[in-house]
Chains A and B, each alone.
Chain A
Amino acid sequence: MAARRRERLLVIGHGMAAARLVDALDRLDPGAFAVTIVGAEPVPAYNRVLLSALLAGEASHDDIALRDVAWHEARGMSLIMGDPVVAVDASHRTARLASGLAIGFDRCVFATGSEPVRLPLPGMDLPGVMTFRDLADVAAMERAAAEGQRVAVIGGGLLGIEAAHGLARRGAKVTLVHVMDRLMERQLDAGAARVLKRELERKGVAVALGRQSIAVTGTDRATGLAFADGGSLSADVVVAAVGIRPNAALAKDAGLAVARGILIDDAMQASLPGFHAIGECAEHRGVAYGLVEPAYAQADALARRLCGGEGRFEGLVLATNLKVSGVPVFSAGAIEGDADAEIVTLDDRAGGVYRKLVIKAGKLIGCVLVGEAEDSLWYLDLIRRAVDIGPVRGELVHGRAYCGALETPAPEAAAALQVAA
């Protein structure tokens, strides 16, 4: 009796979502698929969350490693690195790589991640301007931001803050430039943002708020930034960290439906049969996530589904976790609330703690934590499960230890809450 031919599964992209997927497949049904993974970077997938720690010198290359080449070889998986897929023929189920290699598949998972948004400013292509996205960027930044160099980081979001902090740890003189009047305005309320700003300043990062960059100055290489208000900033290096967008062009060219990202349903099914997307390249219910947690959840669900089980992803309340040298910052759900929302704040900024809860109709719908974030997952669970917090409403802001009456198991499917790859 002839062996059943194994389905050929092509995974495009080798980031954290892809790695999670093949890991889960191997765990659920080892060898069920003939897996080929094609990555653009010349190294196996690594923990992109830790790039900032790597930059800051707080983590080593070993620390950020996930599965190595040998692990894949041992399982008969084909791992192609440094040779990106450049075209997919959906009808013929083949993918062409930059090297010209063509790979046939029965089923294809897009895990192409995202790319940094490049500001449409004059001078953005000058030498000395860089982004913060992958290992190569980290290496470039390490070279450029030697001791004493002046670095301007554009972007007061998570990525920019981590870049600025990492560079400052390396000894660079860093100015973080943000167009809004507070850092991480989408995740943090004003109070938390002030704590974060002060902590950054304490770590040696100058923070310039309300500065809109209009150009990178310099002729041969970047010499600084010009601002809309007429001011300027001298810098030897400019790092643009103003956001990411899904890498969906390849899928779009292949004929998959794409809006911001590759459109998927709750089964991670793209618009054509046999095609899936997970992670930051995907758009689910109108949301293109930029965090690792939903990417992992999607990978886990898809793996279960591919192995014949039930697997659904129904969206996640977004949570952000940031740690600037010992000061955790956590944000989840609604952080401002509307007129009906009740706001509880606990403000001990001088003691390094700030908390804000947003409560509506007896449920926690959002929170911001600075300083002590031990209970962040517990809060997140309350938000996601829409637990009736009535019995402990008055105690909630003081943390889980004060809310014994509220029986909430630690979220078993706990997930990474940091920036996704």
Chain B
Amino acid sequence: MPTAAAAPVKTTCPYCGVGCGVAATPDGQGGALIAGDTSHPANHGKLCVKGASLGETLSLEGRLLHPMIHGQRASWNQAAGFVANGLRRVIDRHGPDAVAFYLSGQLLTEDYYVANKFAKGFLGVRHVDTNSRLCMASSVAGHRRAFGSDTVPNTYEDLDEADLIVLVGSNAAWCHPVLFQRMQAARERRGTKIVNIDPRRTATSEGADLQLSIRPGMDSVLFSWLLSEIAARGAVDEAFVANHTEGLAEALERARAIAPDIVTAATKTGLSQEDIAAFVDLFIDRQRVVTCYSQGVNQSAQGTEKVGAILNCHLATGRIGRPGCGPLSLTGQPNAMGGREVGGLANMLAAHMNYTPAEIDRVRRFWNAPRMAEAEGLKAVQMFEAIERGEIKALWVMHTNPAVTLPRADAMRAALRKLDLFVVSEAVTRTDTTAAGAHVLLPAAAWGEKDGIVTNSERRISRQRAFLAMPGEARPDWEHVQLVAQRMGFGEAFAYPDAASIFREHAALSAFENEGARSFDIGAMAGLDAVAYDTLQPVHWPWRAGEAPRPRLFAEGGFTTPGGRARLVAIAEPELAEAVSDEYPLLLNTGRMRDQWHSMTRTGKARTLARHAAEPTLSLHPEDASRLGIAAGGYARIASRHGEATLRAVTDEGTPRGAAFAPFHWNDATSGLARVDAMTQPHTDRFSGQPELKATPVRVTPIAMACEGLMLSRRPIEMPSWLAHSRLTVPGGEAVLFASPHAPQKVHALLLNLLGSEHRRAALSDPAAEAFRLAVFEEDRLSMALFTARERSAAMFDWLIDAFGRDSLDTAEQRAVLAGRPPAGGADLGPLICACFGVRRGVITEAIRAGAADVEAVGAAVKAGSNCGSCRPEIRRVINDERHKPAHTAAA
């Protein structure tokens, strides 16, 4: 075990794809001090608030610590045997196409590699996909189509050197904060211009020189017009195009069809001609241009086309792979890139190899594989639809929460119950996915405990290092696979003693019969020994054996298409998968909040992060809210053809008219009625399979909530699923905010039943005002509270949460809990002595110290005892007490 005196362990952040270096100093008690790693080139020591709060997320609260079979604790031996038998049975009866693996961009490269190898090489299972399908797939498809491989040409350093940074579909200020700050630094330092293309005006817009609030789905119109203007103004890099590309003419022709003139471009995009012209001028005039794009581009039924439209402009101008020039996809997950390198996707085989006969054969030989998958598998959405149809009967989910994040999430969650074998490798016990009928739960090592490799958005490979012991029986995900593989007779092929041995094999495969055909080649690391692996410094791929790593690619061509030329593509006419209608007139956009990440299994633990957004909200333009009869702070029901949610409404001028925005983080483990992806539609991109998560037609109606409230408890309390609520971590425990259309009295009574406690209960009941409050005290500590009223009071909740976080409360503070306000009126003057005049002991003591020597004198001074006289004996005792006190009181 590390001790308090341990040196900082250099690792990487487990959140977004920026891949910041983190220095973690364990405190020897299961926690750690977190700081940015100043030596890591991705962040140079900076961290966003999510990363900086990692220390608050390390508790074992909620962790899955033992294997479980059908809800009962089991040994690893039993659990691995159960999974092995289940897989064997399904494959024997239904063949390998009845089995699927659903992986995650949060797995380490080694985990990914072992799972991919096991499924595709030893079970013959081709349905291996990943949550990166929901995140990055359109960029992958766009890269492969244009470059011949999934290769990001540029690095973060290009952000430092760009003249213009174009952000497309990216709220980088919230989702990639460290990179956004890097862009802002360049803006300050060298006058880099920033253009933000996003239907919404976001925090990112505040740091942009030009905000283009484009109509949803119309990004490609803008880039088509840009491409035609590049051509028209002679900005094409003729030499680069001639030597290293193909398809410009067709691409241009299609671009001109999509945006024949600026009027059409303006009409289609909803932008002003002036703004469009300003953008085009900037792009053409400024030589160094980096275009960063993220989920607004990817999560679209035309995401690959959007990527193509962007890449077309960079290829036509030759602005690629050169300092300050290139397209830069900003990844959402810490190791989405690592998964892509491994090939843990349905439409890749392994190590940037595809399902061609030669490649299948090559991988078979490398793995010495008995049963190779022979064709591309189903991509995430289609994979779960096959589960829904009963075609896929066994599923192993690793490190992700598809019951929350898939489109049509309620239906997908329900489909999971149809599985004959449902295995989840997880770090936490309770997620919507584990609660969706998982048969086997396998306890996974979490961040801080596991050891391996991740690759960030700029192809930089970094070590994620352990600094905590693995708790309970938790093991790295690769070991989960290894244990099952051993029981299925594949022990020899999975006899990895450690993560380093896996990584060496992965590196060797990347170089195996490569000869420059595949850009992903890290053969230089195939021979890393244990020390070299442990001390590996962040490095870009490709890193071929005997060569230096190559941070930038494609400036001089070298594309991995068959002809070695990049392909400009003729893209399809932009349109949304599903248009709004009278029935569903608003377009729902989903995305992230600044201080949460994914389904909150980790960020949800951090009280610092709960401060920014205590609950999920629906953002509406004020005019839409007003037209719909929804007050800011009121509640709204959002419904699509697929599902619904109930959220608090906020008005936001930055949300376009006709649109609504809701974060996808909250789910049934952290809230109630707030599963936003229950509503999203399943239309997917025909190339990438990525679903259109940001444009689902919905109907929004006001909900009159009769009651709102707050519950505080030390331990999570199961909340009724019919109740709109959200959990947040607060100092000392958990808070639940709730609202209901039912009367406060009824809701309060129902919730009271959930709070079992033997401790002192104090209650306020005011039926006429519909205010009901309960506080439970253990000794002098507030251990539970339930406040239910017609509407919430933020100030009241602040005080309660503050009181809840304290180790002890004095009497006045305990009274103040039910008052919902800090104690009023200054110092506690002690017990009341004179009831007639309301004189407290402290006032009498003061009078005595000021010279009142007897009861009469006290009465003359402060009236106490001068009426009914009942308190005169007590006053006399106070006088005696004061007399017998040490002299220091008299000295005053």
Residue in A373, A374, A402 whose CB lies within 8 Å of B824: A402
- Verify B840–A374 contact, CB threshold 8 A: yes
Contact mask for chain B residues 753-773; partner A; CB cutoff 8 A; 1 contact, 0 none: 000000011111111110100
Q: How far is the CB of B597 from chain A (nearest CB, A)?
A: 39
Which residues of A (345-365) have their CB < 8 Å from a CB of B? 345-348, 350-351, 353, 359
Given contacts A398-B819, A416-B867, A416-B868, could you give 9 more A-B pairs where the C-beta distance is less than 8 Å? Answer: A49-B870, A60-B873, A63-B872, A63-B876, A346-B763, A353-B815, A377-B838, A378-B838, A394-B766
In contact, B840 and A342 (Cβ under 8 angstroms): no
Contact present for A395 and B819 (CB under 8 Å): yes
Contact segment of B306-314, B336-344, B829-837: B829-837
Q: C-beta contact mask, B767-792 vs A, less than 8 Å → 1, else 0?
A: 11101000101000000000000000
B86 at the interface (CB under 8 A from A): no
Query: Is the Cβ of A348 less than 8 Å from the Cβ of B762?
Result: yes
> Are the C-beta atoms of A397 and B766 separated by less than 8 Å?
yes
Of chain B, the residue at the smallest CB distance from A54 is: B873
Complex A-B, nearest 3 residue pairs according to Cβ-Cβ distance, in ascending order: A416-B868, A348-B762, A342-B768
The answer on a CB contact under 8 Å between A410 and B837 is yes
Do A376 and B835 touch across chains, with their CB atoms under 8 A apart?
A: yes
Across-interface contacts of A328 in B (CB, < 8 A): 832, 835
A53 to B823 alpha-carbon distance, docked (Å): 33
Q: Is A1 an interface residue (CB 8 A)?
A: no
Q: Shortest Cβ distance from B640 into chain A, in angstroms?
A: 40
Mark each residue of chain A from 387 to 421: 1 if its CB lies under 8 Å from any CB of chain B, else 0. Answer: 00000011101110110100000100011111000
Specify which of A359, A376, A418 is in contact with B870 (CB 8 Å cutoff).
Answer: A418
Determine if B873 and A63 form an interchain contact, defined as CB atoms under 8 angstroms apart: yes
CA distance A124 to B815 in the complex (A): 47
A417 touching B766 by the CB < 8 A rule? no
In the complex, whether B869 has a CB less than 8 A from a CB of chain A is: yes
Given known contacts A342-B768, A374-B832, is B873 in contact with A350 (CB within 8 Å)?
Answer: no
Contact across chains for A373 and B763 when beta carbons are under 8 A apart: no
| Bound-state Cα–Cα, A49 to B865, Å | 13
**Pair B764/A346 contact, Cβ less than 8 Å:** yes
- Measured in the bound complex, the distance between the Cα atoms of B814 and A348 in whole Å is 10
Interface centre among A353, A393, A414 (most CB of B within 10 A): A414
B760's nearest neighbour on chain A, judged by CB, is A350
Q: A47-B869, A351-B777, A374-B838 are in contact. Are A394 and B824 (CB under 8 A)?
A: no
> Chain A interface secondary structure, helix, strand, loop or mixed?
mixed
A328 CA / B835 CA spacing, docked (Å)? 10
Query: Is the C-beta of B818 less than 8 angstroms from some C-beta in chain A?
Result: yes
A residues adjacent to B (C-beta < 8 A): 47, 49-50, 53, 58-60, 63-64, 66, 292, 321, 328, 342-348, 350-351, 353, 359, 372-378, 393-395, 397-399, 401-402, 404, 410, 414-418
B825 CB within 8 Å of chain A: yes
Asked whether, in the complex, the Cβ of A343 is within 8 Å of the Cβ of B767, the reply is yes
Contact of B814 among A292, A351, A402, A415 (CB under 8 A): A351
**In this assembly, does B821 line the interface, its C-beta being within 8 Å of a C-beta of chain A?**
yes
List 18 A-B pairs, Cβ < 8 Å: A49-B868, A53-B870, A343-B765, A347-B762, A350-B760, A351-B760, A372-B815, A393-B769, A394-B766, A394-B771, A395-B821, A397-B766, A398-B819, A399-B815, A404-B824, A410-B838, A415-B867, A416-B870
A415 touches B819 (CB 8 A): no
B825-849 vs A, CB cutoff 8 Å, 1 = contact: the mask equals 1000000100111101000000000
Per a CB cutoff under 8 Å, which of A66, A343, A346, A414 touches B836? A414
**Is the Cβ of B818 less than 8 Å from the Cβ of A346?**
yes
Report the Cα distance A393→B764, complex, angstroms: 13
- What is the CB-to-nearest-CB distance from B461 to chain A, in angstroms, rounded to a whole number? 60
| Bound-state Cα–Cα, A63 to B865, Å | 11
Rounded to whole angstroms, the CA-CA distance of A399 and B777 in the bound complex is: 21
Q: How far is the CB of A135 from chain B (nearest CB, A)?
A: 16
State the CA gap A402–B769 with chains docked (Å).
17
- Complexed CA–CA distance, A343 and B771 (Å): 11
Enumerate chain B residues within 8 angstroms of A50, measured Cβ to Cβ: 869-870, 873
CB-CB under 8 A for A343 and B762, given A58-B873, A63-B872: no
Knowing A49-B870, A416-B867, the reply to whether A342 touches B836 (Cβ < 8 A) is no
| Whole-angstrom CA separation of A415 from B771 in the bound complex | 34
B316 to chain A, nearest CB (A): 68
Q: Which residues of A contact B819 (CB under 8 A)?
A: 395, 398, 402
User: What residues make up the interface of B, taking CB atoms closer than 8 Å to A?
Assistant: 760-769, 771, 775, 777, 814-816, 818-819, 821, 823-825, 832, 835-838, 840, 867-870, 872-873, 876
Question: How far is B761's CA from A395's CA once the two chains are assembled, in angstroms?
Answer: 20
A348 pairs with B838, CB closer than 8 A: no
Closest-by-CB residue of B relative to A375 is: B838
In whole angstroms, what is the CA distance A159 to B821 when docked? 39
Tell me if A401 and B838 are in contact (CB < 8 A).
no
Q: How far, in Å, is B771 (CB) from chain A's closest CB?
A: 7
With both beta carbons as reference points, the residue of chain B lying nearest to A46 in the complex is identified as B869
> What are the residues of chain B within 8 A of A346 when measuring CB–CB?
762-764, 818
Q: How far is the CA of A328 from the CA of B836 in the complex (A)?
A: 13
Let me know if B838 and A59 touch, CB within 8 A. Answer: no
Contact B760–A414 (Cβ < 8 Å): no
Is there contact, CB below 8 Å, between B760 and A417? no
Q: Compute how far the CA of A177 lies from the CA of B314 in the bound complex, rounded to whole angstroms.
A: 97
Contacts of B762 in A (CB 8 A): 346-348, 350-351, 353
Q: Which residues of A contact B771 (CB under 8 A)?
A: 394
Complex Cα distance, B824 from A328, in Å, reads 22
Q: How far is the CB of B732 from chain A (nearest CB, A)?
A: 20
Minimum distance in angstroms from A62 CB to a CB of chain B: 9
B818 with A47: CB separation less than 8 A? no
Using Cβ atoms and an 8 Å threshold, which residues of chain B touch A417? 835-836, 868
Q: Provide the residues of chain A in CB contact with B764, threshold 8 Å.
A: 344-347, 397
Distance (Å) between the CB of B852 and the closest chain A CB? 18
Which residues of chain B have C-beta atoms less than 8 A from A342's C-beta?
A: 766-769
Chain B proximity of A382: nearest CB distance (Å): 14
Set of chain B residues within 8 Å of A401, measured between Cβ atoms: 823-825
Nearest residue in A to B829 (C-beta to C-beta)?
A: A374
Q: Cβ of B775: which chain A residues have Cβ within 8 Å of it?
A: 348
Closest chain-B Cβ to A317's Cβ sits at a distance in Å of 16
Report the separation of the CA atoms of residues A397 and B837 in the bound assembly, to the nearest whole angstrom.
Answer: 20
User: How far, in whole Å, are A50 and B762 apart by their CA atoms in the complex?
Assistant: 33
Query: Across the interface, which residues of B come within 8 angstroms of A416, CB to CB?
Result: 836, 867-870
Contact B823 A377 (CB under 8 A): no
Cα of A350 to Cα of B873 in the assembled complex, Å: 28
Residues from chain B with Cβ under 8 Å of A66 in the complex:
869
| Residue numbers in B under 8 Å from A377 (CB-CB) | 835-838
Q: Which of A321, A344, A373 has the most CB of B within 10 A?
A: A344
Residues of chain B within 8 A (CB-CB) of A414 are 836-838, 867
Contacts of A64 in B (CB 8 A): 869
Chain A residues positioned under 8 Å from B766 (CB to CB): 342-345, 394, 397
CA distance A404 to B825 in the complex (A): 9
Cβ–Cβ contact B868 & A398, under 8 A? no
Return chain A residues, CB-CB under 8 Å to B769.
342, 344, 393-394
Q: Which residues of B contact A292 (CB under 8 A)?
A: 868
In angstroms, Cα B769 to Cα A404, docked, is: 20
A345 / chain B contacts, CB cutoff of 8 Å? 763-766
